[in-house]
Amino acid sequence: MNTEELLSLSGQHPILLFDGVCNLCDGFVQFIMKRDKKAAFRFAPLQSEAGSLLLEHFDLKSGEVDSVVLIENGVANIRSTAALRAGKRLGGLWILPYAFMVIPPFIRDAVYKFIANNRYKWFGKKDSCMIPSPEVRSRFLS
């Protein structure tokens, strides 16, 4: 897929980019997949071709964004905004944390960055990106 196709897809399916070697990020993806009853989300590791194309398109440096990015309707959301918007998209009670959006981003993102900066130490790191099971492989872009 090229960048234009990926951006077009984001109008129908939110795209969640994630750190493919991070156990916490992998857990977040598993959490989303399990609760995404309509299979709306699409996923790609930041380290994948699709992830690289989208990061480049939005001029996001890999050092700047190293955990999750949510792309909806051609707009990239990063850090706490990405995580909260992903929860909101799940519906049900998962929209409740979205109330934290009233907190200024510099405060939300400070907490997010603290967790992101310590995620490998606290949750561990894999040697390579996860390989999706055949049942969910169609939801992965790379």
Residue extents of the structural domains in the chain = 3-134
Query: pLDDT tens digits for 5-52?
Result: 888 888 899 999 999 888 999 999 999 999 998 999 999 999 899 999
What is the domain class of 3-134 according to CATH? alpha beta
Question: Does 99 score more than 80 pLDDT?
Answer: yes
The pLDDT value recorded for residue 62 is: 65
81 token code pair: 């905004």
Collapsing DSSP states into helix, strand and coil, what is residue 77?
strand
- Residue 130 confidence (pLDDT) above 70: no
The whole-number average pLDDT for the span 75-87 is 95
pLDDT of 88 over the 80 cut: yes
* DSSP strands (E only) in the chain: 15-18, 42-45, 68-72, 75-78
